Amino acid sequence: MKAQLLLSAAMLALTAEAVEAADVIRNEPVRKVYRPAVEPSAAQVTRVHPVLRGRVAVMDGRTLWYPQYAQSVQLADIDACELPQWALDPKWEDRERVKAPPPVPCGPFAKAWLKRTVGNKSVTCNVVSYRVDGTAIARCTTGARDLALEMLRVGWARVASPYLVNGQYAAYQRYGHRQLNEAWIPMCDDGL
């Protein structure tokens, strides 16, 4: 058996061809880059992000789906519980004698609230950037209601970054957490 393996290895070594990696750097002359005679204006250089309008499907507490554009949109500047996420009551004391309170399905509750807020209304999303996976990051409204602000107001989301674009977000977050009596939201926040 060993002899067959050695013979096979020797045959492969003798018949192998020289190969090069696909990314080998070669010393080729640098090609000239075409430059237009007139420099483009700032308006031409600036990339304009689209505005999406229409009915949406709510995917989770921060993500919308525009079927007419085949585009998912994440609400900018907020973070909400993931859909399968549950939270425990952090104020549960005397764990040896008191039975555990039931966990709260914060992910499904956040989705349900966003779905209730959107309803059958048209949603307008101003895209501000894109994630690596192609998901648009946008500021979305339905009528005059900012959807991210609404999620913060009721306590089903939190501000995602300390660098706020909308100064009201921090105040609405504090108000929203008080509305839920902060009974379980800190546990949900830890998993965001």
Q: Is 59 exposed, middle or buried (0-12, 13-18, 19+ CB in 10 A)?
A: middle
What is the structure's pLDDT at 158?
A: 85
Going along the chain from its start, the domains and CATH numbers come out as 49-190 (2.40.50.90)
What is the structure's pLDDT at 164?
A: 67
State how far the Cα of 4 lies from the Cα of 99, in Å rounded to an integer. Answer: 68
For residue 89, how far is the Cα from the chain centroid? 26
What is the structure's pLDDT at 132?
A: 92
What is the structure's pLDDT at 161?
A: 76
* Pairing, β 123-130 against β 136-142: antiparallel
What is the structure's pLDDT at 34?
A: 47
Measured between alpha carbons, how far is residue 141 from residues 121, 138, 154 in Å? 10, 10, 16
What is the structure's pLDDT at 93?
A: 76
What is the structure's pLDDT at 87?
A: 78
**Beta-carbon count within 10 A of 52 CB:** 20
Choose among 61, 60, 59: nearest CA to 156.
61
Q: Which residues contact 114 (CB under 8 A, 6 or more apart)?
A: 58, 60, 61, 62, 80, 147, 150, 151, 156
Q: Using 50 as the pLDDT threshold, list the residues of the chain that sit under it.
A: 16, 19, 21-24, 30, 32-34, 36, 42-45, 183-184, 186-187, 190-192
What is the structure's pLDDT at 10?
A: 63
What is the structure's pLDDT at 153?
A: 87
What is the structure's pLDDT at 22?
A: 47
* Pairing, β 63-66 against β 136-142: unpaired
Q: Which residues contact 137 (CB under 8 A, 6 or more apart)?
A: 73, 74, 76, 127, 128, 129, 130, 131
What is the structure's pLDDT at 8?
A: 66
Q: Summarize pLDDT for 73-124 with one digit per residue, the tens.
A: 999 989 888 888 887 766 777 778 878 777 888 889 999 999 999 999 999 9
